[in-house]
C-alpha cells in the first residue's frame, strides 16, 4: 500500500486518527458507529454518536438516556463492541464499558452539551416505552423549540455517559489490490499488533 499503511504502528495511528476525526467533524463517517451489547434475548446493535476519544487512556465514549435498554444490558455485561466504517476502512472496537450518571464525569459532559441535545433527555417516559400513537415522548411545546437552560437541567437525571476502555482494535481496509486487516490487543500495558488475512 502506498500510504504507509503497511506498517502496524501507522495503522494504529491511523485508527485513532479516524476516531479523532469522528469526534471533531460531524460530517465524518466515524461520527457514529454501531454499538453491540449482550441482552437476555441475544445481541443488540444500534448506532450511537462518538462523544469522547482519549487515546492515552485507550478510552472512547457516547451519551445515552440512563433509562435506555442498552444501559441495563451494559450493567449486566460490560463487554461491548463498537463498529465504524468510512473511507474504505472498518474499525471494529471491543472493550469494557463503564456507566457514569450523576457523577463528576457526567456533570462535565452535561455542561458541554447544548440545550438542543439536552432535549433528548426530557421525555417523561423512558425510551422503549410502548405508545398508542407515533410519539416523540416530548411535550407538544418542546417538540417545537429547544428547551431553556433552566428547563434542560431536568434532563440531567436521565443523562448517562458511557466510557469504553478498549481491549482490542481491529482495522480492515478495502482495496482494489486486495484488502488488508490488522488487529491490536492490549497486553502488558501496550498495544500488540498483528496482521490478519482479511
Ligand X SMILES: Cc1cc2nc3c(=O)[nH]c(=O)nc-3n(C[C@H](O)[C@H](O)[C@H](O)COP(=O)(O)O)c2cc1C
The residues of the shown chain that bind ligand X, judged by CB under 6 A, are 32, 44, 46-49, 62-65, 68-70, 127-128
Closest separation in Å from C-beta 69 to ligand X: 4
Cβ proximity to ligand X: between 31 and 92 the closer is 31
Residues near 109 by beta carbon (within 8 Å), at least 6 away in sequence: 51, 52, 63, 100, 159, 161
Taking the complex as a whole, the smallest distance from the CB of residue 37 to ligand X amounts, in Å, to: 7
E strand segments, the chain = 32-39, 42-49, 52-54, 59-65, 79-86, 89-100, 159-173, 180-187, 190-196
Nearer to ligand X, 74 or 182 (CB): 74
Quote the CA–CA distance of 51 and 161 in Å, as a whole number: 9
Smallest separation (angstroms) from ligand X to the CB of 39 = 8
CB of 140 to ligand X, least distance (A): 22
Nearer to ligand X, 43 or 175 (CB): 43
Q: Shortest gap between Cβ of 160 and ligand X (angstroms)? A: 8
Q: Which triple of cell numbers denotes residue 68? A: 435506555
Q: Choose between 39 and 165: whose C-beta lies nearer to ligand X.
A: 39
Instruction: Give the nearer residue to ligand X in terms of CB position, either 49 or 96.
Output: 49
Angle in degrees, CA 108, 113, 117, rounded to 5:
145
Q: What SS3 class is residue 127?
A: coil
Cell of 183: 488487529
Amino acid at each position: 500500500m502506498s500510504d504507509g499503511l503497511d506498517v502496524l504502528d501507522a495503522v494504529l495511528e491511523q485508527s485513532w486518527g479516524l476516531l479523532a476525526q469522528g469526534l471533531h467533524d460531524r460530517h465524518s463517517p466515524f461520527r457514529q458507529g454501531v454499538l453491540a451489547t449482550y441482552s437476555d434475548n441475544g445481541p443488540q446493535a444500534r448506532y450511537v454518536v462518538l462523544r469522547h476519544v482519549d487515546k492515552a487512556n485507550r478510552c472512547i465514549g457516547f451519551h445515552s438516556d440512563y433509562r435506555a435498554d442498552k444501559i441495563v444490558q451494559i450493567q449486566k455485561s460490560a463487554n461491548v463492541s463498537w463498529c465504524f466504517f468510512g473511507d474504505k476502512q472498518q474499525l471494529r472496537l471491543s472493550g469494557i464499558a463503564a456507566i457514569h450518571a450523576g457523577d463528576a464525569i457526567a456533570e462535565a459532559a452535561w455542561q458541554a452539551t447544548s440545550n438542543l441535545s439536552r432535549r433528548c433527555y426530557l421525555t417523561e417516559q423512558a425510551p422503549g416505552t410502548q405508545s398508542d400513537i407515533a410519539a416523540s415522548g416530548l411535550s407538544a411545546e418542546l417538540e417545537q423549540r429547544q428547551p431553556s437552560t433552566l428547563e434542560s437541567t431536568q434532563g440531567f437525571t436521565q443523562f448517562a455517559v458511557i466510557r469504553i476502555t478498549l481491549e482490542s482494535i481491529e482495522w480492515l481496509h478495502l482495496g482494489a489490490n486486495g484488502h488488508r486487516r490488522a488487529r491490536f490487543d492490549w497486553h502488558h500495558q501496550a498495544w500488540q499488533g498483528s496482521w490478519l488475512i482479511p
